[in-house]
Amino acid sequence: MFSIQGGEIRSRGVEVEAKAALSANVNVLGSYTYTDAEYTKDTTNQGHTPAAIPKHMASLWADYTFHESALSGLTLGSGVRYVGSSYGDEANTFKVKDYTVVDAAVKYDLARFNLPGSSVGININNLF
């Protein structure tokens, strides 16, 4: 990533997040972001959208935690992230396509080993 001198940018938007425990084992988290950003004062880019700022982003994550079994303390999770299209440069001469990626995670709570509040885990981002 690089940084360039720019004019004044106005950015407005909305972020919404919802969490739900569907059962003692299943948790779900979803989020959505809408961003409306543009250069309001700039010698060459006034009215343009800043580079790499998508209008829409969304994600959904679910995990399952095992309780009262041989796998007690183990959590398996998976999620999907969507990033909308954005401009690839400040002059808005080309667009970067939208994309969706899938993530996964495995976590183990170490409380049963007298380490309350501790866990070990592996996260895999952009699995496919």
Percentage of the chain exceeding pLDDT 70: 97
User: For position 79, what pLDDT does the model report?
Assistant: 99
**Domains contained in the chain, number:** 1
**Tokens coding 7:** 């004019």
How far apart, in whole angstroms, are the C-alpha atoms of residue 101 and residue 98? 10
Place of tokens 């690089």: 2
pTM of the complete model beyond 0.95: no
How far apart, in whole angstroms, are the C-alpha atoms of residue 99 and residue 74? 30
Q: Within a domain: residue 65?
A: yes
What residue ranges of the chain have pLDDT lower than 70? Answer: 1-4
Q: What is the chain's mean pLDDT, rounded?
A: 95
User: For position 31, what pLDDT does the model report?
Assistant: 99
User: For position 53, what pLDDT does the model report?
Assistant: 97
How far apart, in whole angstroms, are the C-alpha atoms of residue 69 and residue 56? 41
Q: Show the domain range for 91.
A: 8-124
Q: Within a domain: residue 2?
A: no
Assign 60 to helix, strand or coil.
Answer: strand
How far apart, in whole angstroms, are the C-alpha atoms of residue 112 and residue 91? 56
Q: Look up residue 31 and give its DSSP letter.
A: E
User: For position 5, what pLDDT does the model report?
Assistant: 72
Q: Within a domain: residue 47?
A: yes
